[in-house]
Amino acid sequence: MSRHAFSQVNVFSADPLGGNPLAVVHEADGLTDEQMAALARWTNLSETVFLLRPTEPGADYWVRIFTPGGELPFAGHPTLGSCHAWLRAGGRPRQAGRVVQQCAVGLVTIRQAGQRYEFAAPPLRRTGPLEPDDLDRITAALGIAPEEVLHHQWVDNGPGWCALMLPSAERVLALKPDWPALVPYFVGVVGASPEGSDTAVEVRAFMGSEGAEDPVTGSLNASLAQWMIGAGLVESPYVASQGTAMQRAGRIHLHQDGEGIWVGGEVVDVIDGMIQL
């Protein structure tokens, strides 16, 4: 057996219990794929990550990201949480003020913005409107009438996300998915927040193949921002709320600059210790 430093952090909320938890295993180079997958099933968090020495030139570290159901090529809250945990454990980036993460979608740049971390949204792998059959299946699984969908789009940056825009945050929060019918789709749903809110939109993330809702989702919000800002559906900068339906208080800060779309949030330490595998 081997012992590894272990962290559990909270991402996308200053409240330690209000965002999305992430388990981080440090110096995980000696672990097998089977051990990583087994630990992810054991923690039963939306994601568990493993920090390894990078193999790509220019990367500061390599992260592998596992859900209880398998490995992901990219995910947002693991990106910010991994960066925080790596720096806190003594990691030193090659370039001051920027950390370069290696993951299955390539290299992702992360930087600090005051009390928050933010990552550069990776390129979309698939775009364009949903096919009619896909849209029919998804709306039926979510109990949405077709005329309620204001806009729809593939926004896949690795996990396979597609997105629906509904008329309001209230309608988004009322959704009750038929999980078996939602397989195999990963669906993000977004609606405008009420006037006077401190956020622009309410977001929910339904992972059909996992049969679960993700509390706060960086990858989805990254691709939603690329779509919605690009299409003029929201203005940059804006703040998205996510997790309300799960009694979380996730806040994702999104903006566009000359380098692209940036996705930011706070990271809070919750647990430090050792894990034996």
Please give the average per-residue pLDDT across 179-189, as a whole number: 98
Alpha helices by DSSP H, listed for the chain, are 33-43, 76-88, 132-142, 169-173, 179-182, 218-230
Alpha carbon distance 48, 77 (integer Å): 10
Q: Which of 193, 213, 270 is nearest to 18 (CA)?
A: 270
**What CATH number is attached to the domain comprising 253?**
3.10.310.10
For tokens 């806009």, the residue is 151
Half-sphere exposure of 71 (CA within 13 A, CB side): 13
Peptide bond before residue 123 is cis, with ω within 30 degrees of 0:
no
Say if 25 falls within a structural domain. Answer: yes
What total number of domains does the chain contain?
2
Say if 190 falls within a structural domain. Answer: yes
For residue 265, the SS3 value is strand
Domain co-membership, 142 together with 248: yes
Alpha carbon distance 132, 92 (integer Å): 49
For the question of whether the overall pTM of this predicted structure is more than 0.85, the answer is yes
pLDDT of 113 over the 90 cut: no
For residue 208, the SS3 value is coil
Residue 15's domain comprises 3-119+265-276
232 contacts 171 by C-beta, under 8 angstroms: no
Alpha carbon distance 220, 63 (integer Å): 19
pLDDT at 114: 80
Domain co-membership, 230 together with 136: yes
Say if 124 falls within a structural domain. Answer: no
Domain co-membership, 237 together with 154: yes
Domain co-membership, 105 together with 163: no
Say if 127 falls within a structural domain. Answer: no
Domain co-membership, 187 together with 91: no
Residue 30 — pLDDT band, cuts 50, 70, 90?
very high
Domain co-membership, 218 together with 237: yes
Domain co-membership, 83 together with 41: yes
Domain co-membership, 197 together with 160: yes
Say if 50 falls within a structural domain. Answer: yes
Domain co-membership, 65 together with 182: no
Least confident range from 113-117, 232-236, 260-264: namely 113-117
Q: How much is the mean pLDDT over the chain?
A: 96
pLDDT at 59: 98
The amino acid sitting at 265 is G
Domain co-membership, 148 together with 41: no
Catalytic residue among 47, 118, 202, 210: 47
Query: Active-site residue 131, yes or no?
Result: no
Say if 270 falls within a structural domain. Answer: yes
For residue 171, the SS3 value is helix
Please give the average per-residue pLDDT across 57-86, as a whole number: 95
Sequence-ordered list of residues with C-beta below 8 angstroms from that of 25, at least 6 positions apart, any chain: 4, 5, 6, 31, 36, 39, 48, 49, 50, 51, 275
pLDDT at 173: 98
Domain co-membership, 80 together with 94: yes
Domain co-membership, 44 together with 56: yes
Say if 191 falls within a structural domain. Answer: yes
Say if 126 falls within a structural domain. Answer: no
137-163 pLDDT, tens digit per residue, is 999 999 999 999 999 999 999 899 999
pLDDT of 246 over the 90 cut: yes
pLDDT at 1: 84
pLDDT of 85 over the 90 cut: yes
Alpha carbon distance 51, 141 (integer Å): 37
